[in-house]
Structure 1
């Protein structure tokens, strides 16, 4: 239904006075938030006073976009739903285009990318019919970002269309928006060894920055100016060595000034982060540390707390302290990092729940709309019944009686049917609510069980015991190294257990930390080897924490009971089946084997909870990928004793 615009007038439509007032209020969203909301509410009052559905739709849409800027998700959803619901009552292009824009922006905000693309494409087509080139350039840019990185062809297509409409519109705001989208395409496809491509991208962003500086007064989206500076600085950092330090730092200073002036957190974080990273890599640790400390002081001086930003800065300070071998400072920074990182995850979990609530409420509203339509149909049918009776009375009593009887019978049946449908709809809404809550509860329970299962208490105790022993023996450097690995492993497990997907590279990094700590625990009684075939791409996305339980079993039940004279060995090999969207992980050990391990287990009540949870997770994945699963068997006799695990992991 989204793309059926039958009955819509296709000629270009001018903006009304009310729309112009709402648009002017929206233009003040960065400079004066209070005036922005006041003017938009005034525009909405005018629309209601005139009882203009078209103007009300446009006002609701602008209010939704403003609430998105203020990060007020509940109000954002309310205004977007209101605009979209009213859009069904008009045949004008501009109101429908604004309603689809508001709904598409909402879907993008709550991470429903396919629906966001669908609504934004509908808005884009309508604004194109209305010859609203300024809106077309911005929407085409947003569509380009949504297709990244899965479809480079579509990213380029809509970025080029954004440039076309921006040139037609002729305003600096639209041109900057479109150039950033096309610049993003250039940098995403940039090969660092290709000097010509890099120079082309630098020239493009220099022109973009010059445009932004020349027309900064007329550009409302100040964040876009900051992004232009950040992108140009980032290009300098990736270019020829040595980099143009003066130009690199100059652009970051300008980005920082924009971020502070207009309170744009992501620009501020990126600017400070790039400078700090550069000086860290350069070896100027004192300057890098001062930058991060300055960033923390500035953030704490604000009336709100950005836990994500503070956690990022303290984590960067940890890295600087480690490179300076200032272990006291490292542990002080780590304590602050852990505090703000926990708060960051609490906020992240809250946001996930809020997004789930918005998705549910949106679906519930659609069901309610259908229910109201059924009730309205019932009312209309009852009216028709009254008209029919009045007409029959004019013909005659006898004919009236017979006509009334049959009509009454028909409408009674129809009313019963509609009431039954209404009851079914209400039941469906209740079931949907129950199912949503149960699914969310089950998922959170699975995440808690997964998190608990990843870090075995015996493993933690033994690892810390060995590190303590090193410290007592004054082996400071190895102790700090292993303590750093242990902290990193703990952080990786906490972070990855909250994610839907991670890259294979991240998974391998976690495995290396875990295995090296197991080596420490068993006094280096075994070796390990991780290999990836040429077909394997390390940036592919897979479910997190699937492999570690099998490594734990190989160590605990295979290598640990092995006689000391035999050096243990674990080999991990990755191969990729692109057609089946599957990653094959083969784990081999030269331990005592399955039969001997089962004999020992009869004397041990330990149950592998993590393996059971992994089996449950893979079973659920089989609905979308039938190849998901694992197989455990003995090694061939000629290879000697040991165990093989073949794990089929879906590529997401």
Structure 2
């Protein structure tokens, strides 16, 4: 097929059109917006300078009294605070940008504000709201032909639809590629290619080798593109993600894998992570290498890699508990495979510490996100309320002028006309007052919702505290099973494992409930005590007795008594000499006046004083007792009699051992 050369006149007109288009686009970007963009581009290399330049841009926008520039500056500031992980400032800047954007009709301004709000909602895991705002921003940027922004937003939308809607994931990933190619911007092209590459890797679940080859070739091309345009790509983390994805694809490819290519890509990702302090890239690179060497059987190399990751993390000015917990968990697996149980115990202690800190941080973040969602919505509703009140005041003011004019005309022409017009405006004023009353009612409803949200938050905290018990049960029980297996006691280990499975199922069922019946609690206790007796070779006996005053249908919070039974066995009965038979007694009584169930736990163990001496030699901290104490403390807000006492038995009259008295709200 032959192609004709374009005529000179057509070429000249095309160049002239491009020239004028460039002038118009340049005129659309104000000095304040350009300054804000330049500052935002420095967010990875120099965050201090980035914030300083953006604040100068905001000052210039305010000085010139240009709302459009203010909105854009606030939007860039919000996105920068996301990078710095400052959630409160992130929310404040995003809300301010969105509220100010309601005062303008500029499409680009509204698009930036919607993009900032969409980023905020995505950060706090409010996916439906995030999609609404980002789709709005996407449509507005498309109208203004901002292809670079369209490419980035379409990529984010594609990620948000995954994995629920594969069709939409592919749709927006392809649209991202289209807009990125239109813009010619290297960073936008990399954003779009990552989104489309994510769509290709999702298809690998079908197991077709052709899909794997397609995805691998696509990411190879993306890596070449990223290396050639690295100077023009501000988000260095995206370059690291390319190498991580490539290494991951090699690990999932045909066996044996291309080890050289796999390790080379991980080395490149690690170098970028260290240079720009990108935690997620570093964690993924070290993790993939460690897992590879672990599967390969090179445990020494794997342990060196994980230890190096821990050493590097501890050298930083902040502590990433999630990363440390992940590395120590991997070291535990390596130690288990090497059968180095001393190292396993050491790593497990550190893993438990950082895993608990990680869990606390995750809980705090969950509550913080819920609070941010509520505060953001409340602020926007309050602003709308104030705007409505201002509008009503302006209408009332204009109405006064109109009435005065009508009165003057009525005096000139006729009293009858004045009379009917006066009635008309009076009715209108009553209507506006009714609207104002309705607005005040909305504020009252919002205050009521605030109380309900606080109650829901307290309920969430209670459930989170209770859910912390599950890892504690599993940790102790698996340790017992492991001990039996190492001692080659196969039959007791299998018996113990069967009982443990039944016990775990009951615990999982009960942690999903606010309360359980006393009968269920006693059944769970019997199952747990039988597990302990089996582990300790039936070295103790037990009894569980209910007083006649106890009602059979009484309901109590689950998993409150078990930690104290566990302490009685572990710290009281277990250390007894072999010639002494242990005895555990559990007695239930009911205090109808205070609506409490009184549970008394007795043991004839070594007693508090001897137990404390043993604990001084052991640095283990009883998480179950701490969690139970916190749960009972929260119950005291509703029932002041809730709590527990731990007493030493009188050796002269009652024998050796301890007594625990639990007051449980019914």
Global fold match (TM > 0.5) = yes
Structure with bigger gyration radius? 2
2-side partners of 1:180 and 1:226: how far apart? Answer: 11
2-side partners of 1:259 and 1:232: how far apart? Answer: 16
SS of residue in 2 equivalent to 1:255: helix
Q: 1:51 aligns with which of 43, 48, 65?
A: 65
Q: Are residue 432 (structure 1) and residue 443 (structure 2) matched?
A: no
Do the aligned partners of 2:77 and 2:93 also contact (CA within 8 Å) in 1? Answer: yes
Deviation at 1:14, TM superposition (A): 3.0
C-alpha distance after superposition, 1:197-249 (max 9, x if no partner): 21221111111111111111111000000000000000000011111111111
Do the aligned partners of 1:140 and 1:159 also contact (CA within 8 Å) in 2? Answer: yes
Which residue of 1 is the match for residue 646 of structure 2?
none
2-side partners of 1:136 and 1:94: how far apart? Answer: 12
Q: Are residue 153 (structure 1) and residue 153 (structure 2) matched?
A: no
2-side partners of 1:192 and 1:175: how far apart? Answer: 27
2-side partners of 1:179 and 1:248: how far apart? Answer: 20
Q: Are residue 364 (structure 1) and residue 381 (structure 2) matched?
A: no
Q: 1:39 aligns with which of 41, 53, 58?
A: 53
2-side partners of 1:35 and 1:558: how far apart? Answer: 61
Do the aligned partners of 2:244 and 2:269 also contact (CA within 8 Å) in 1? Answer: yes
Deviation at 1:408, TM superposition (A): 7.5
Deviation at 1:447, TM superposition (A): 3.8
TM-score (norm 1): 0.70
Q: How does 1:176-195 map to 2 (within 5 A)?
A: 176-191=190-205, 193-195=207-209
Q: 2:329 aligns with which of 308, 315, 319?
A: 315
Do the aligned partners of 1:190 and 1:198 also contact (CA within 8 Å) in 2? Answer: yes
Deviation at 1:451, TM superposition (A): 5.1
Do the aligned partners of 1:134 and 1:174 also contact (CA within 8 Å) in 2? Answer: yes
Which residue of 1 is the match for residue 254 of structure 2?
240
SS of residue in 2 equivalent to 1:150: coil
Which residue of 1 is the match for residue 143 of structure 2?
129
2-side partners of 1:142 and 1:456: how far apart? Answer: 38
Go from structure 1 to structure 2 and tell me whether the alpha carbon gap of 1:464 and 1:151 turns closer, same or farther (over 3 Å shift): closer
Q: 1:257 aligns with which of 266, 271, 279?
A: 271
1-side partners of 2:247 and 2:510: how far apart? Answer: 33
5+ residue gaps, structure 2, are 1-23, 529-545, 561-666
Deviation at 1:192, TM superposition (A): 7.4
Q: How does 1:66-145 map to 2 (within 5 A)?
A: 66-145=80-159
2-side partners of 1:516 and 1:166: how far apart? Answer: 62
Q: 2:313 aligns with which of 295, 299, 304?
A: 299
2-side partners of 1:517 and 1:608: how far apart? Answer: 29
Q: Are residue 442 (structure 1) and residue 454 (structure 2) matched?
A: no
Do the aligned partners of 2:67 and 2:100 also contact (CA within 8 Å) in 1? Answer: yes
Go from structure 1 to structure 2 and tell me whether the alpha carbon gap of 1:206 and 1:467 turns closer, same or farther (over 3 Å shift): closer
Q: 1:340 aligns with which of 342, 354, 357?
A: 354
Most deviating of 192-201 and 145-154: 192-201
CA RMSD in angstroms comes to: 3.9
Deviation at 1:39, TM superposition (A): 1.1
Go from structure 1 to structure 2 and tell me whether the alpha carbon gap of 1:191 and 1:434 turns closer, same or farther (over 3 Å shift): closer
Do the aligned partners of 2:521 and 2:558 also contact (CA within 8 Å) in 1? Answer: no
Which residue of 1 is the match for residue 434 of structure 2?
417
2-side partners of 1:603 and 1:255: how far apart? Answer: 64
C-alpha distance after superposition, 1:370-403 (max 9, x if no partner): 3112211221132123313431453339959857
Aligned residue pairs, count: 509
SS of residue in 1 equivalent to 2:145: coil
Deviation at 1:171, TM superposition (A): 1.9
Do the aligned partners of 1:392 and 1:403 also contact (CA within 8 Å) in 2? Answer: no
5+ residue gaps, structure 1, are 1-10, 483-514, 530-541, 562-598, 614-652
Q: Are residue 519 (structure 1) and residue 498 (structure 2) matched?
A: yes
Which residue of 2 is the match for residue 169 of structure 1?
183
2-side partners of 1:292 and 1:69: how far apart? Answer: 27
